[in-house]
Amino acid sequence: MRTAPTILHLDMDAFYASAEQAAKPSLRGKAVIVGGLGPRGVVATCSYEARVFGVHSAMPMAQARRLAPNAAYLVPRFGLYREISEQVMGLLRELSPLVEPLSLDEAFVDLEAGQTAWDAESARLTGVKLRGDIRAVTGLTGSVGLAASKMLAKIASEEAKPDGLVLIEPGTERELLAPMSVRTLPGVGPATGDHLRRAGITTVGEIAEAGEDELVRLLGKAHGVALYAMALAHDVRPVVAERDTKSVSVEDTYDVDIHDRVRVRMEVQRLADRCVRRLRGAHLSGRTIVLKVRRYDFSTLTRSETLRGPTDDPAVVREAAARLLESVDTTGGVRLLGVGVSGLADYTQEDLFAQARTAAAAASAEELEQAEQEEAEEAVEEPVPPAERRWHAGHDVRHAEFGHGWVQGSGLGRVTVRFETPGSLPGRVRTFRSDDPLLEGAEPLPLVERRPGDVGSSAAGGEG
Protein backbone atom coordinates (compact mmCIF):
# COMPACT_ATOMS: atom_id res chain seq x y z
CA MET A 1 0.00 0.00 0.00
CA ARG A 2 1.15 3.53 -0.74
CA THR A 3 1.66 6.18 1.86
CA ALA A 4 0.08 8.94 -0.25
CA PRO A 5 -3.34 9.15 -2.01
CA THR A 6 -1.85 9.22 -5.51
CA ILE A 7 -4.26 6.86 -7.28
CA LEU A 8 -7.11 8.77 -8.89
CA HIS A 9 -10.43 7.34 -10.03
CA LEU A 10 -12.56 9.44 -12.38
CA ASP A 11 -16.21 8.63 -13.02
CA MET A 12 -18.20 10.95 -15.29
CA ASP A 13 -21.60 11.85 -13.84
CA ALA A 14 -24.58 10.15 -15.56
CA PHE A 15 -22.43 10.28 -18.68
CA TYR A 16 -24.78 9.54 -21.59
CA ALA A 17 -27.70 11.43 -20.08
CA SER A 18 -25.50 14.41 -19.12
CA ALA A 19 -24.13 14.57 -22.67
CA GLU A 20 -27.69 14.64 -24.02
CA GLN A 21 -28.70 17.40 -21.60
CA ALA A 22 -25.63 19.45 -22.59
CA ALA A 23 -26.52 19.03 -26.27
CA LYS A 24 -30.22 19.82 -25.82
CA PRO A 25 -31.01 23.00 -23.82
CA SER A 26 -34.69 22.04 -23.48
CA LEU A 27 -33.73 18.91 -21.48
CA ARG A 28 -31.48 20.56 -18.89
CA GLY A 29 -32.78 19.98 -15.39
CA LYS A 30 -35.30 17.40 -16.62
CA ALA A 31 -35.56 13.61 -16.41
CA VAL A 32 -33.64 12.05 -19.31
CA ILE A 33 -33.38 8.30 -19.92
CA VAL A 34 -31.03 6.84 -22.55
CA GLY A 35 -31.24 3.26 -23.79
CA GLY A 36 -33.02 0.83 -26.08
CA LEU A 37 -36.55 2.07 -26.69
CA GLY A 38 -38.02 -1.22 -27.96
CA PRO A 39 -40.16 -3.58 -25.88
CA ARG A 40 -37.04 -5.40 -24.69
CA GLY A 41 -34.83 -2.35 -24.29
CA VAL A 42 -32.96 -1.55 -21.09
CA VAL A 43 -31.81 1.71 -19.50
CA ALA A 44 -28.17 2.50 -20.31
CA THR A 45 -27.99 5.70 -18.24
CA CYS A 46 -30.45 8.12 -16.71
CA SER A 47 -30.08 11.64 -15.40
CA TYR A 48 -30.15 12.40 -11.69
CA GLU A 49 -33.58 13.97 -12.20
CA ALA A 50 -34.84 10.57 -13.44
CA ARG A 51 -33.29 8.70 -10.52
CA VAL A 52 -35.65 10.53 -8.17
CA PHE A 53 -38.43 8.37 -9.65
CA GLY A 54 -36.51 5.14 -8.96
CA VAL A 55 -35.11 4.67 -12.47
CA HIS A 56 -31.60 3.19 -12.69
CA SER A 57 -29.26 1.69 -15.28
CA ALA A 58 -29.93 -1.89 -16.47
CA MET A 59 -33.63 -1.51 -15.62
CA PRO A 60 -36.07 -2.74 -18.29
CA MET A 61 -37.23 0.25 -20.31
CA ALA A 62 -40.87 -0.74 -19.89
CA GLN A 63 -40.48 -0.45 -16.10
CA ALA A 64 -38.72 2.92 -16.46
CA ARG A 65 -41.65 4.23 -18.53
CA ARG A 66 -44.06 3.24 -15.77
CA LEU A 67 -41.97 4.98 -13.12
CA ALA A 68 -41.24 8.14 -15.14
CA PRO A 69 -43.83 8.46 -17.94
CA ASN A 70 -43.01 12.11 -18.62
CA ALA A 71 -39.24 11.69 -18.98
CA ALA A 72 -37.41 12.19 -22.27
CA TYR A 73 -36.50 8.78 -23.76
CA LEU A 74 -33.57 8.86 -26.17
CA VAL A 75 -31.64 6.38 -28.31
CA PRO A 76 -27.87 6.37 -27.48
CA ARG A 77 -25.46 8.32 -29.71
CA PHE A 78 -22.30 6.29 -29.15
CA GLY A 79 -20.28 8.27 -31.69
CA LEU A 80 -20.74 11.41 -29.60
CA TYR A 81 -20.00 9.58 -26.34
CA ARG A 82 -16.79 8.09 -27.76
CA GLU A 83 -15.65 11.51 -28.96
CA ILE A 84 -16.18 13.02 -25.50
CA SER A 85 -14.49 10.01 -23.90
CA GLU A 86 -11.42 10.51 -26.08
CA GLN A 87 -11.23 14.14 -24.95
CA VAL A 88 -11.44 13.11 -21.29
CA MET A 89 -8.89 10.30 -21.66
CA GLY A 90 -6.58 12.78 -23.38
CA LEU A 91 -6.70 14.99 -20.29
CA LEU A 92 -5.97 11.99 -18.06
CA ARG A 93 -2.94 11.00 -20.16
CA GLU A 94 -1.54 14.49 -19.66
CA LEU A 95 -1.38 13.61 -15.95
CA SER A 96 0.30 10.22 -16.22
CA PRO A 97 1.44 7.53 -18.65
CA LEU A 98 -0.46 5.01 -16.50
CA VAL A 99 -4.15 5.46 -17.32
CA GLU A 100 -6.42 2.42 -17.04
CA PRO A 101 -9.76 3.01 -18.78
CA LEU A 102 -12.58 0.84 -17.43
CA SER A 103 -15.25 2.14 -19.83
CA LEU A 104 -16.02 5.24 -21.88
CA ASP A 105 -16.67 7.27 -18.73
CA GLU A 106 -14.43 5.74 -16.06
CA ALA A 107 -10.69 5.31 -15.50
CA PHE A 108 -7.89 4.94 -12.93
CA VAL A 109 -4.80 7.18 -13.07
CA ASP A 110 -1.47 6.65 -11.28
CA LEU A 111 -0.50 10.25 -10.44
CA GLU A 112 2.78 9.17 -8.86
CA ALA A 113 3.93 7.59 -12.13
CA GLY A 114 3.30 10.90 -13.89
CA GLN A 115 5.02 12.88 -11.10
CA THR A 116 1.93 15.08 -10.88
CA ALA A 117 1.24 14.23 -7.21
CA TRP A 118 3.35 12.95 -4.34
CA ASP A 119 1.29 13.78 -1.24
CA ALA A 120 -2.29 14.56 -0.22
CA GLU A 121 -2.17 18.27 -1.04
CA SER A 122 -0.67 17.86 -4.53
CA ALA A 123 -3.12 15.05 -5.26
CA ARG A 124 -6.07 17.24 -4.23
CA LEU A 125 -4.88 20.15 -6.36
CA THR A 126 -4.46 17.80 -9.34
CA GLY A 127 -7.98 16.46 -8.88
CA VAL A 128 -9.47 19.95 -8.64
CA LYS A 129 -7.67 21.06 -11.80
CA LEU A 130 -8.74 17.92 -13.67
CA ARG A 131 -12.41 18.51 -12.86
CA GLY A 132 -12.12 22.09 -14.09
CA ASP A 133 -10.38 21.02 -17.30
CA ILE A 134 -13.04 18.38 -18.01
CA ARG A 135 -15.81 20.95 -17.60
CA ALA A 136 -13.97 23.44 -19.84
CA VAL A 137 -13.30 20.91 -22.60
CA THR A 138 -16.54 18.89 -22.58
CA GLY A 139 -19.08 20.97 -20.67
CA LEU A 140 -19.72 17.92 -18.44
CA THR A 141 -18.90 17.06 -14.84
CA GLY A 142 -16.97 14.17 -13.37
CA SER A 143 -16.47 12.92 -9.82
CA VAL A 144 -12.96 12.24 -8.55
CA GLY A 145 -11.77 9.85 -5.86
CA LEU A 146 -8.20 9.93 -4.51
CA ALA A 147 -6.67 7.24 -2.31
CA ALA A 148 -3.67 4.98 -1.83
CA SER A 149 -5.31 2.03 -3.67
CA LYS A 150 -7.63 1.39 -6.59
CA MET A 151 -10.41 -0.04 -4.44
CA LEU A 152 -10.47 2.97 -2.14
CA ALA A 153 -10.16 5.49 -4.99
CA LYS A 154 -13.26 4.00 -6.61
CA ILE A 155 -15.15 4.05 -3.31
CA ALA A 156 -14.11 7.69 -2.89
CA SER A 157 -15.42 8.69 -6.32
CA GLU A 158 -18.77 7.06 -5.50
CA GLU A 159 -18.89 9.08 -2.28
CA ALA A 160 -18.07 12.22 -4.31
CA LYS A 161 -21.04 11.91 -6.70
CA PRO A 162 -22.30 13.99 -8.27
CA ASP A 163 -19.70 16.55 -9.32
CA GLY A 164 -17.42 16.29 -6.31
CA LEU A 165 -14.00 15.22 -5.02
CA VAL A 166 -13.26 12.96 -2.06
CA LEU A 167 -9.74 12.19 -0.81
CA ILE A 168 -9.14 9.33 1.61
CA GLU A 169 -6.12 10.04 3.79
CA PRO A 170 -3.83 7.02 4.26
CA GLY A 171 -4.30 5.60 7.74
CA THR A 172 -8.02 6.41 7.89
CA GLU A 173 -9.18 3.67 5.52
CA ARG A 174 -10.40 1.07 8.03
CA GLU A 175 -12.28 3.65 10.05
CA LEU A 176 -13.96 4.89 6.88
CA LEU A 177 -14.85 1.41 5.60
CA ALA A 178 -16.12 -0.08 8.87
CA PRO A 179 -19.71 1.27 8.81
CA MET A 180 -20.18 0.75 5.06
CA SER A 181 -22.36 -2.02 3.64
CA VAL A 182 -20.61 -5.21 2.54
CA ARG A 183 -21.97 -4.43 -0.95
CA THR A 184 -19.48 -1.56 -1.10
CA LEU A 185 -16.60 -4.00 -1.64
CA PRO A 186 -15.77 -5.22 -5.16
CA GLY A 187 -17.08 -8.70 -5.89
CA VAL A 188 -19.90 -8.60 -3.33
CA GLY A 189 -23.10 -8.87 -5.35
CA PRO A 190 -26.65 -9.64 -4.24
CA ALA A 191 -26.01 -13.37 -3.73
CA THR A 192 -22.82 -12.95 -1.67
CA GLY A 193 -24.35 -10.07 0.25
CA ASP A 194 -27.40 -12.18 1.14
CA HIS A 195 -25.17 -15.08 2.19
CA LEU A 196 -23.20 -12.80 4.51
CA ARG A 197 -26.38 -11.23 5.88
CA ARG A 198 -27.70 -14.65 6.89
CA ALA A 199 -24.45 -15.14 8.82
CA GLY A 200 -25.03 -11.84 10.63
CA ILE A 201 -22.48 -9.85 8.60
CA THR A 202 -23.82 -6.66 7.03
CA THR A 203 -20.97 -4.13 7.28
CA VAL A 204 -17.32 -4.07 6.23
CA GLY A 205 -16.32 -3.73 9.87
CA GLU A 206 -18.16 -6.96 10.70
CA ILE A 207 -16.22 -8.75 7.94
CA ALA A 208 -12.96 -7.65 9.58
CA GLU A 209 -14.22 -8.76 13.00
CA ALA A 210 -15.33 -12.17 11.69
CA GLY A 211 -11.76 -13.04 10.67
CA GLU A 212 -10.26 -14.73 7.65
CA ASP A 213 -11.06 -18.30 8.76
CA GLU A 214 -14.78 -17.52 9.09
CA LEU A 215 -14.85 -15.81 5.69
CA VAL A 216 -13.16 -18.83 4.10
CA ARG A 217 -15.69 -21.12 5.75
CA LEU A 218 -18.59 -19.05 4.44
CA LEU A 219 -17.34 -18.20 0.93
CA GLY A 220 -14.52 -20.58 0.07
CA LYS A 221 -10.78 -19.97 0.14
CA ALA A 222 -10.24 -17.65 -2.83
CA HIS A 223 -13.24 -15.41 -2.26
CA GLY A 224 -12.96 -15.45 1.53
CA VAL A 225 -9.27 -14.51 1.62
CA ALA A 226 -9.75 -11.72 -0.94
CA LEU A 227 -12.79 -10.28 0.82
CA TYR A 228 -11.07 -10.27 4.22
CA ALA A 229 -8.07 -8.44 2.73
CA MET A 230 -10.35 -5.80 1.18
CA ALA A 231 -12.16 -5.30 4.50
CA LEU A 232 -8.74 -4.47 6.01
CA ALA A 233 -8.20 -1.98 3.12
CA HIS A 234 -5.43 -4.12 1.63
CA ASP A 235 -5.26 -3.64 -2.14
CA VAL A 236 -1.93 -3.61 -3.98
CA ARG A 237 -3.29 -3.88 -7.55
CA PRO A 238 -1.32 -1.57 -9.87
CA VAL A 239 -2.82 0.78 -12.44
CA VAL A 240 -2.37 -1.03 -15.77
CA ALA A 241 -2.16 1.20 -18.83
CA GLU A 242 -2.98 -1.42 -21.46
CA ARG A 243 -5.44 -4.27 -21.27
CA ASP A 244 -5.11 -7.13 -23.74
CA THR A 245 -8.24 -7.51 -25.83
CA LYS A 246 -9.35 -11.13 -25.66
CA SER A 247 -12.16 -10.98 -28.19
CA VAL A 248 -14.08 -8.70 -30.53
CA SER A 249 -17.81 -9.22 -30.86
CA VAL A 250 -21.12 -7.61 -31.82
CA GLU A 251 -24.67 -8.65 -31.02
CA ASP A 252 -28.24 -7.45 -31.53
CA THR A 253 -31.40 -8.04 -29.51
CA TYR A 254 -34.62 -8.00 -31.54
CA ASP A 255 -37.86 -6.40 -30.44
CA VAL A 256 -39.81 -9.29 -32.01
CA ASP A 257 -38.52 -12.88 -32.18
CA ILE A 258 -37.19 -13.84 -35.61
CA HIS A 259 -38.74 -17.08 -36.90
CA ASP A 260 -37.81 -16.93 -40.58
CA ARG A 261 -34.63 -18.92 -41.21
CA VAL A 262 -33.63 -16.75 -44.18
CA ARG A 263 -33.86 -13.63 -42.02
CA VAL A 264 -31.76 -15.29 -39.31
CA ARG A 265 -29.05 -16.10 -41.89
CA MET A 266 -29.11 -12.52 -43.18
CA GLU A 267 -28.74 -11.15 -39.65
CA VAL A 268 -25.78 -13.44 -38.93
CA GLN A 269 -24.07 -12.31 -42.15
CA ARG A 270 -24.65 -8.65 -41.27
CA LEU A 271 -23.26 -9.17 -37.75
CA ALA A 272 -20.21 -10.95 -39.17
CA ASP A 273 -19.44 -7.93 -41.36
CA ARG A 274 -19.85 -5.54 -38.43
CA CYS A 275 -17.56 -7.71 -36.32
CA VAL A 276 -14.86 -7.67 -39.00
CA ARG A 277 -15.06 -3.89 -39.35
CA ARG A 278 -14.52 -3.59 -35.59
CA LEU A 279 -11.69 -6.15 -35.78
CA ARG A 280 -9.94 -4.22 -38.55
CA GLY A 281 -10.49 -0.95 -36.75
CA ALA A 282 -8.48 -2.37 -33.85
CA HIS A 283 -5.79 -3.69 -36.26
CA LEU A 284 -6.41 -7.24 -35.09
CA SER A 285 -7.15 -10.64 -36.55
CA GLY A 286 -8.39 -13.83 -34.93
CA ARG A 287 -8.51 -17.60 -35.27
CA THR A 288 -11.76 -18.56 -33.52
CA ILE A 289 -15.19 -17.55 -34.82
CA VAL A 290 -18.00 -17.60 -32.23
CA LEU A 291 -21.75 -17.56 -32.84
CA LYS A 292 -24.18 -16.69 -30.02
CA VAL A 293 -27.91 -17.45 -30.28
CA ARG A 294 -30.50 -16.67 -27.61
CA ARG A 295 -33.75 -18.41 -28.41
CA TYR A 296 -37.38 -17.58 -27.67
CA ASP A 297 -37.24 -19.40 -24.30
CA PHE A 298 -34.13 -17.42 -23.17
CA SER A 299 -31.86 -20.45 -23.63
CA THR A 300 -28.50 -19.25 -24.96
CA LEU A 301 -26.31 -21.36 -27.23
CA THR A 302 -22.75 -20.66 -28.35
CA ARG A 303 -20.93 -22.41 -31.17
CA SER A 304 -17.31 -21.86 -32.20
CA GLU A 305 -14.92 -22.88 -34.96
CA THR A 306 -11.14 -22.44 -34.91
CA LEU A 307 -9.42 -21.69 -38.23
CA ARG A 308 -5.91 -22.70 -39.24
CA GLY A 309 -4.62 -19.17 -38.83
CA PRO A 310 -5.73 -15.64 -37.85
CA THR A 311 -7.95 -13.82 -40.31
CA ASP A 312 -9.68 -10.51 -40.78
CA ASP A 313 -11.29 -11.59 -44.07
CA PRO A 314 -15.03 -10.78 -43.96
CA ALA A 315 -15.86 -13.63 -46.35
CA VAL A 316 -14.11 -16.15 -44.11
CA VAL A 317 -15.89 -14.91 -40.97
CA ARG A 318 -19.26 -14.89 -42.76
CA GLU A 319 -18.83 -18.44 -44.02
CA ALA A 320 -17.69 -19.74 -40.62
CA ALA A 321 -20.63 -18.06 -38.89
CA ALA A 322 -23.01 -19.55 -41.46
CA ARG A 323 -21.59 -23.04 -40.85
CA LEU A 324 -22.03 -22.59 -37.10
CA LEU A 325 -25.63 -21.49 -37.59
CA GLU A 326 -26.45 -24.74 -39.39
CA SER A 327 -25.94 -26.62 -36.11
CA VAL A 328 -28.46 -24.49 -34.20
CA ASP A 329 -32.21 -25.08 -34.19
CA THR A 330 -33.98 -21.71 -34.51
CA THR A 331 -37.48 -22.90 -35.40
CA GLY A 332 -39.00 -21.61 -32.14
CA GLY A 333 -37.73 -18.09 -32.72
CA VAL A 334 -34.59 -16.07 -31.98
CA ARG A 335 -34.42 -13.01 -29.72
CA LEU A 336 -30.67 -12.31 -29.84
CA LEU A 337 -27.81 -13.06 -32.26
CA GLY A 338 -24.11 -12.35 -31.89
CA VAL A 339 -20.90 -12.97 -33.83
CA GLY A 340 -17.44 -12.72 -32.29
CA VAL A 341 -13.80 -13.43 -33.03
CA SER A 342 -11.31 -14.58 -30.36
CA GLY A 343 -7.78 -15.98 -30.35
CA LEU A 344 -6.63 -12.52 -31.42
CA ALA A 345 -3.35 -11.51 -33.01
CA ASP A 346 -2.02 -8.19 -34.26
CA TYR A 347 -1.25 -9.65 -37.69
CA THR A 348 -2.99 -11.75 -40.31
CA GLN A 349 -1.58 -14.99 -41.67
CA GLU A 350 -2.55 -15.93 -45.21
CA ASP A 351 -5.93 -17.59 -44.90
CA LEU A 352 -5.93 -20.94 -46.71
CA PHE A 353 -9.69 -20.76 -47.08
CA ALA A 354 -9.57 -17.35 -48.73
CA GLN A 355 -7.03 -17.86 -51.52
CA ALA A 356 -9.74 -17.95 -54.15
CA ARG A 357 -11.25 -14.72 -52.84
CA THR A 358 -8.37 -12.26 -53.05
CA ALA A 359 -10.45 -9.64 -54.78
CA ALA A 360 -13.27 -9.91 -52.25
CA ALA A 361 -10.85 -9.66 -49.34
CA ALA A 362 -9.40 -6.45 -50.77
CA ALA A 363 -12.80 -4.81 -51.23
CA SER A 364 -13.78 -1.99 -48.94
CA ALA A 365 -16.22 -2.48 -46.08
CA GLU A 366 -18.79 -0.41 -47.94
CA GLU A 367 -18.58 -2.60 -51.04
CA LEU A 368 -18.91 -5.74 -48.97
CA GLU A 369 -21.95 -4.40 -47.19
CA GLN A 370 -23.55 -3.40 -50.50
CA ALA A 371 -22.89 -6.82 -52.02
CA GLU A 372 -24.39 -8.52 -48.99
CA GLN A 373 -27.46 -6.33 -49.19
CA GLU A 374 -27.92 -7.22 -52.86
CA GLU A 375 -27.68 -10.93 -52.01
CA ALA A 376 -30.29 -10.48 -49.30
CA GLU A 377 -32.62 -8.72 -51.70
CA GLU A 378 -32.27 -11.54 -54.23
CA ALA A 379 -33.15 -14.07 -51.53
CA VAL A 380 -36.56 -12.46 -50.99
CA GLU A 381 -39.07 -13.95 -53.38
CA GLU A 382 -41.69 -11.20 -53.22
CA PRO A 383 -40.86 -7.54 -53.92
CA VAL A 384 -40.56 -5.45 -50.78
CA PRO A 385 -41.55 -1.76 -50.82
CA PRO A 386 -38.88 0.76 -49.82
CA ALA A 387 -38.52 1.01 -46.03
CA GLU A 388 -39.79 4.16 -44.38
CA ARG A 389 -37.02 6.49 -43.23
CA ARG A 390 -36.31 5.86 -39.57
CA TRP A 391 -35.75 8.76 -37.21
CA HIS A 392 -34.29 7.79 -33.83
CA ALA A 393 -35.36 9.81 -30.80
CA GLY A 394 -32.57 12.11 -29.71
CA HIS A 395 -30.49 11.87 -32.88
CA ASP A 396 -29.32 14.94 -34.78
CA VAL A 397 -30.96 16.24 -37.95
CA ARG A 398 -30.68 19.28 -40.18
CA HIS A 399 -33.47 20.99 -42.07
CA ALA A 400 -32.67 23.10 -45.12
CA GLU A 401 -34.83 25.96 -43.80
CA PHE A 402 -34.77 25.65 -40.00
CA GLY A 403 -31.21 24.43 -39.42
CA HIS A 404 -29.90 22.00 -36.79
CA GLY A 405 -32.16 20.11 -34.42
CA TRP A 406 -32.88 16.72 -32.87
CA VAL A 407 -35.63 14.15 -33.22
CA GLN A 408 -38.16 14.44 -30.42
CA GLY A 409 -40.35 11.61 -31.73
CA SER A 410 -41.55 9.85 -34.86
CA GLY A 411 -44.24 7.52 -36.10
CA LEU A 412 -47.25 7.24 -38.42
CA GLY A 413 -45.27 8.84 -41.22
CA ARG A 414 -44.40 11.96 -39.21
CA VAL A 415 -41.30 13.15 -37.38
CA THR A 416 -41.19 15.86 -34.70
CA VAL A 417 -38.02 17.92 -34.42
CA ARG A 418 -36.89 20.44 -31.82
CA PHE A 419 -34.56 23.00 -33.35
CA GLU A 420 -31.83 23.97 -30.90
CA THR A 421 -28.08 23.65 -30.44
CA PRO A 422 -25.82 23.24 -27.37
CA GLY A 423 -25.24 27.00 -27.21
CA SER A 424 -28.77 28.18 -27.93
CA LEU A 425 -31.87 28.78 -25.85
CA PRO A 426 -34.51 26.01 -25.78
CA GLY A 427 -35.79 25.75 -29.34
CA ARG A 428 -39.13 25.50 -31.13
CA VAL A 429 -40.76 22.23 -32.15
CA ARG A 430 -41.99 21.45 -35.65
CA THR A 431 -43.46 18.35 -37.26
CA PHE A 432 -42.70 17.11 -40.80
CA ARG A 433 -43.50 14.17 -43.01
CA SER A 434 -40.95 11.42 -42.37
CA ASP A 435 -39.92 11.55 -46.04
CA ASP A 436 -39.53 15.34 -46.14
CA PRO A 437 -36.69 15.92 -48.67
CA LEU A 438 -35.51 19.00 -46.77
CA LEU A 439 -34.79 16.96 -43.63
CA GLU A 440 -31.67 14.81 -43.27
CA GLY A 441 -29.54 13.20 -40.59
CA ALA A 442 -26.68 15.26 -39.19
CA GLU A 443 -23.51 14.87 -37.14
CA PRO A 444 -23.59 15.91 -33.46
CA LEU A 445 -22.41 19.43 -32.71
CA PRO A 446 -19.58 20.03 -30.17
CA LEU A 447 -20.93 20.52 -26.65
CA VAL A 448 -18.41 23.31 -26.05
CA GLU A 449 -17.34 25.76 -28.72
CA ARG A 450 -13.60 25.34 -29.13
CA ARG A 451 -11.39 28.41 -29.44
CA PRO A 452 -7.61 28.58 -29.82
CA GLY A 453 -5.97 28.67 -26.40
CA ASP A 454 -8.85 27.06 -24.53
CA VAL A 455 -7.94 24.75 -21.64
CA GLY A 456 -7.36 21.26 -22.92
CA SER A 457 -7.77 22.29 -26.57
CA SER A 458 -4.68 20.35 -27.62
CA ALA A 459 -6.00 17.17 -26.07
CA ALA A 460 -9.43 17.61 -27.57
CA GLY A 461 -8.17 18.58 -31.00
CA GLY A 462 -5.76 15.65 -31.16
CA GLU A 463 -8.65 13.22 -30.81
CA GLY A 464 -10.64 14.74 -33.69
Spatial separation of the C-alpha atoms in residues 284 and 271, rounded to whole Å: 17
Strand-strand pairing, 165-167 and 142-147: parallel
Catalytic site includes residue 106: yes
250, 336 contact by CB (below 8 A): no
317, 332 contact by CB (below 8 A): no
Q: Is 105 annotated as a binding-site member?
A: yes
- Residues 226, 231, 235, 240, Cα dihedral to 10°: 80
Helices (H) and strands (E) in the chain, counts: 16, 17
Q: Which of 20, 49, 83, 106 is catalytic?
A: 106
How far is C-alpha 409 from the geometric centre of its chain's CA atoms?
24
How far is C-alpha 190 from the geometric centre of its chain's CA atoms?
23
Residue 461, SS3?
Answer: helix
List, in sequence order, every residue forming a beta bridge with 433; answer none if it has no partner. Answer: 414
Instruction: Please report the DSSP string for 309-364 in residue order.
Output: EEE--HHHHHHHHHHHHTTS--TT-EEEEEEEEEEEESS----GGGGGGHHHHHS-
How far is C-alpha 308 from the geometric centre of its chain's CA atoms?
33
Length of the chain: 464
Spatial separation of the C-alpha atoms in residues 274 and 267, rounded to whole Å: 11
User: Residue positions in the annotated binding site?
Assistant: 11, 105
User: Residue positions in the annotated binding site for Mg(2+)?
Assistant: 11, 105
* Residues designated catalytic: 106
